[in-house]
Structure 1
Amino acid sequence: MDKHDTRHTSVDVRDFINATPVSRFQIMISVLCFLIVALDGFDIAIIGFIAPHIRAEWQLSMVSLGPLFSAGLLGLMVGAFCSGPMADRIGRRRVLILSVAWFGATSAGAAFAPNVEWLIALRFLTGLGLGGAMPNAITLTSEFSPERRRGTLLTLMFCGFSLGSALGGVVTAYLVAGVGWRGLLALGGLLPLALVPVLGFTLPESVRFLAIRGGTQTQIAAILARVAPGRVVVGQQYTAVDDRLPSSPVAQLFHRDYRRGTLLLWLAFFMSLLLLYLLINWLPILAQRSGLTLKQASMFAGLLQGGGVLGAIVLGVLIDRFHPYKVVAATYVMGALALASLAFADGALWLALGIFVTGFCVSGSQVCANVIASAYYPTSNRATGVAWALGIGRIGAVAGSFGGAILLAAGWSNGGLFMILAIPAMLAALGILLAGTKHGRAMERQAGGTPAATSLSKI
């Protein structure tokens, strides 16, 4: 094609990214988002690992730990609900960098809390930033990933969250005696603050967002030239299908093509995060009740996130090759069976294996649920769709944190707790499975009756 012809053609940025191999630039974006969610996971999980030390210092009751756990989760919920629509209007990059700076500063400030009331307030403020960081990291990575590799790249990126959470247990086990719980909170704040200038200089805006929100051709071409050096042609126009509906990004969640699927995804996220955060926050104490030392309990609880890392990697490959909704639903069912088996665990080895398998299935499936949500919605409200699903999930997380406190205070045994926790895992499986059925029908209707594809490369 000569230069004259080139100037009169346009290329969809989605097709451009899909047609190119994964480049070092795209890997860099995934690595930066990996670091963000790793710090996110560390900051969220650390409160569960240091809770026994806070309780001992301030002589707190078991029930009083519930508000401490839930304050950060409430902040996560509010942050997610606010950040999604904001990112769909002003950009993923701006909101992401602001969120990282915010949770870094407030986490560092929480290290100086004089009492539990101040600590609860500062954990809420920290949660606002954490709630904005995660969905936008997911969205930005998704929009720079070729769709044929989206599941693998997103789950590898999101492994940062599980690794960060697991690192919280390891760091607590080895450093808390020397620096105390305040030192660990300070560490959780200083690390993201150090990352902010790196993000400012290197993290790009989503080209799909720029293409539908009035970005210049110069901006878009410059970014695409880093995605695929040598493939950007002078004078070529780069566009994207403007899939905005005549309503706000939030209202689009309830459009007839997305409404039922949205509610089903919310059910899955609510139940999955209720289960995960109850385990993340209370597993160290449950392990301690089983006769382990605080150090052993912290290391033991890290198995949950370790299993989640392996589960995310394995399931990420599977959802790129097979029906993603069925893969995730089946894995949630396996997680329910693993949890039920913990009620009969006899000895530390069985308990450790059961927790690792639970992490593989439940935490790994939750990572893949994020991938599904990022593929479910169009560009115009993708950040909102992911953020609001996570926000609804945070409501479940708050319920899990309070529920754990109530059940333990009521005298429930570890075995009874593990049995009842199999129920939300089964409900998460049901929500994902039905959402997949609904999404397939919606895609068929949009395609004029053509049978819808089921892989992530087509949604």
Structure 2
Amino acid sequence: MQSRPVQDGNLRSLVLCALAALFEGFDNQSMGVAAPRLIPEFGLAPGAISWVFSAATFGLLVGAIIGGRVADRVGRKPVLIASLMVMGLCSCATALANSVESLLLARFLTGLGLGGAMPNFIALAAEMVEPRRRVAVVTVVTAALPFGGALAGMLSLSHGIGWDWRVIFYVGGIGPVVLALLMMPLLRESAERSGDGAVRPDTASLSQALFADGRASRTLQLWSGFFFNQLILLLMLNWLPTLFVRLSFSHAAASWAAICFNLSGSFIGALIARACGGPRRSLWVTLNYLGIVVALMLLYSGTSVEIALFGCALAGATIIGGQLVVYALAPLSYSTAVRSTGVGAAVAVGRFGSVVGPLYAGGLLALGAASSAVLVGIIPFVALGGAAVFALTRQRTEPDIAQNAPQTRNESAA
């Protein structure tokens, strides 16, 4: 296990995991992109659309805990495939919604699939390679999340789609279903959970899995990092296009804002995440979160569409960069037997932040606050998120984590 190369089957499985991340990112952005046209059709107030944004997040929270726990008992592959099927079918149901109630239900059920998928494609990606490569591989796979979000923004600019927001959800629904069908014959189960040296299914309680054997401090740091980063990220993913329109920019500019945010996050954010995991990680983490503040101030100024779009790109690179850091660290913090449980719990805690973020922005707007006030109101959360990630990266070096993680497995003696 210690020197496991990236074999052809493993590489194919990593590509499939990255595609799962791409569709997850597509769905995360789809409601935000659709919102400017969906709001008038359903007659939704800012406070009401916040609940639509958060419905999938509530579902993801539940799905992440259940999906991670079940996967540690029955395997990553079957849970990931089932989650993608649920995600895809319920995304199509979102397009068919004809009332606020059916819209909320469809988004909640979509969230269950999203939640079950995320901890498992992260854990699978980590377990397909040797420990020293895990940070790099998980960073690359999870960088597909914002790239999927960028594709949602691009799709909204395509001919005709601007007139029918439902197409986004049909595309975001059919894709995961097709991917799930492809995974049945093509996706490998984790090498650490199959074969003669397979890890035994975890039988520890949830609290033991997360807090026993010296994992308590790292679990709490992960949770804090996920909570505040997800609060900021989902607020921006859901509200950025709407805030852009409220800043007197066009619908087309709002779609470009989503594209700039996600593309810069996918590519530049991945580079930032790698730097934040290197030997000068404390400096890079500090610069990254200062960059978020600068980006918010550029958006706050709203002096021109060019400056605002540059601010979106900088915000995407730094906000998503911070999130990719905690994504990469999460699977290294737990042994194989409880890895999906640990990652799933961190994702679930992060989704509490994802619920708070959109509701926070919607509440401010419902009280009559300007878009610029919402942007300034994000800064305290940036400070808290930065402190959490700073503490997380200071605890010990990532190479040490990667080398030590396999030694905590039940099969480590092998």
If the length of structure 2 is used for normalisation, what is the TM-score? 0.91
Structure 2 CA distance for aligned equivalents of residues 428 and 178 of structure 1 = 35
**Mapping for residues 11-410 of structure 1, pairs under 5 Å:** 14-17=1-4, 20=5, 22-175=6-159, 177=161, 180-210=164-194, 216-217=195-196, 238=197, 247-255=204-212, 257-319=214-276, 321-322=278-279, 327-328=284-285, 330-410=287-367
Q: CA separation of 1:374/1:99 partners in 2, compared to 1, >3 Å: closer, same or farther? A: same
Q: Is the 8 A contact 2:270 2:324 kept in 1?
A: no
Q: CA separation of 1:430/1:316 partners in 2, compared to 1, >3 Å: closer, same or farther? A: closer
Q: Is the 8 A contact 1:67 1:402 kept in 2?
A: yes
**Residue type at the aligned position of 2:104:** I
Structure 2 CA distance for aligned equivalents of residues 366 and 165 of structure 1 = 14
Structure 1 CA distance for aligned equivalents of residues 59 and 207 of structure 2 = 19
Q: Is the 8 A contact 2:298 2:307 kept in 1?
A: no
1:282-303 residue CA offsets vs partner (Å, 9 max, x unmatched): 1111111122111221122221
SS in 2 for 1:291: coil
Correspondence for 2:411: none
Q: CA separation of 1:435/1:97 partners in 2, compared to 1, >3 Å: closer, same or farther? A: same
Structure 1 runs (4+) deviating above 6 angstroms are none
401-410 vs 142-151, which moves further: 142-151
Q: CA separation of 1:243/1:63 partners in 2, compared to 1, >3 Å: closer, same or farther? A: closer
**Residue type at the aligned position of 1:428:** G
What stretches of structure 2 of length at least 5 have no aligned partner?
406-414
SS in 1 for 2:368: coil
Q: Is the 8 A contact 2:74 2:201 kept in 1?
A: no
Structure 1 CA distance for aligned equivalents of residues 28 and 348 of structure 2 = 15
SS in 2 for 1:97: helix
Structure 1 CA distance for aligned equivalents of residues 402 and 300 of structure 2 = 36
Correspondence for 2:409: none
Shift of 1:321: 3.9
Q: CA separation of 1:300/1:334 partners in 2, compared to 1, >3 Å: closer, same or farther? A: closer
Q: Is the 8 A contact 1:325 1:432 kept in 2?
A: no
Q: CA separation of 1:315/1:458 partners in 2, compared to 1, >3 Å: closer, same or farther? A: farther
**Residue type at the aligned position of 1:348:** V
SS in 1 for 2:47: coil
Shift of 1:266: 0.9
Identity level (%): 30
Q: CA separation of 1:274/1:317 partners in 2, compared to 1, >3 Å: closer, same or farther? A: closer
Structure with the greater alpha carbon radius of gyration: 1
Structure 2 CA distance for aligned equivalents of residues 455 and 155 of structure 1 = 15
Calculate the aligned-residue CA RMSD, in Å.
Answer: 2.3
1:407-448 residue CA offsets vs partner (Å, 9 max, x unmatched): 1122222332222212212211211222344457xxxxxxxx
Q: Is the 8 A contact 1:336 1:423 kept in 2?
A: no
Q: Is the 8 A contact 1:254 1:262 kept in 2?
A: yes
Shift of 1:330: 4.4
**Residue type at the aligned position of 1:279:** M
Q: Is the 8 A contact 1:260 1:438 kept in 2?
A: no
Correspondence for 1:224: none
- Equivalent of 2:390 in 433, 439, 443: 433
Structure 2 CA distance for aligned equivalents of residues 94 and 413 of structure 1 = 46
Shift of 1:148: 2.4
Q: Is the 8 A contact 2:132 2:399 kept in 1?
A: no
Q: CA separation of 1:247/1:330 partners in 2, compared to 1, >3 Å: closer, same or farther? A: farther
Q: Is the 8 A contact 2:277 2:325 kept in 1?
A: no
Structure 1 CA distance for aligned equivalents of residues 103 and 201 of structure 2 = 43
Structure 2 CA distance for aligned equivalents of residues 298 and 154 of structure 1 = 28
Structure 2 CA distance for aligned equivalents of residues 330 and 455 of structure 1 = 23
SS in 1 for 2:46: coil
1:335-357 residue CA offsets vs partner (Å, 9 max, x unmatched): 23432443334222221112211
Structure 2 CA distance for aligned equivalents of residues 292 and 341 of structure 1 = 15
Structure 2 CA distance for aligned equivalents of residues 177 and 431 of structure 1 = 40
Structure 2 CA distance for aligned equivalents of residues 189 and 322 of structure 1 = 41
1:384-426 residue CA offsets vs partner (Å, 9 max, x unmatched): 1111111111111111111111111222223322222122122
Structure 2 CA distance for aligned equivalents of residues 91 and 336 of structure 1 = 41
1:236-269 residue CA offsets vs partner (Å, 9 max, x unmatched): xx466x796x732443212251112211211111
1:135-185 residue CA offsets vs partner (Å, 9 max, x unmatched): 110000001122222222211111211111111111112255477122221
Structure 1 CA distance for aligned equivalents of residues 158 and 28 of structure 2 = 19
SS in 2 for 1:343: helix
Shift of 1:327: 4.0
If the length of structure 1 is used for normalisation, what is the TM-score? 0.82
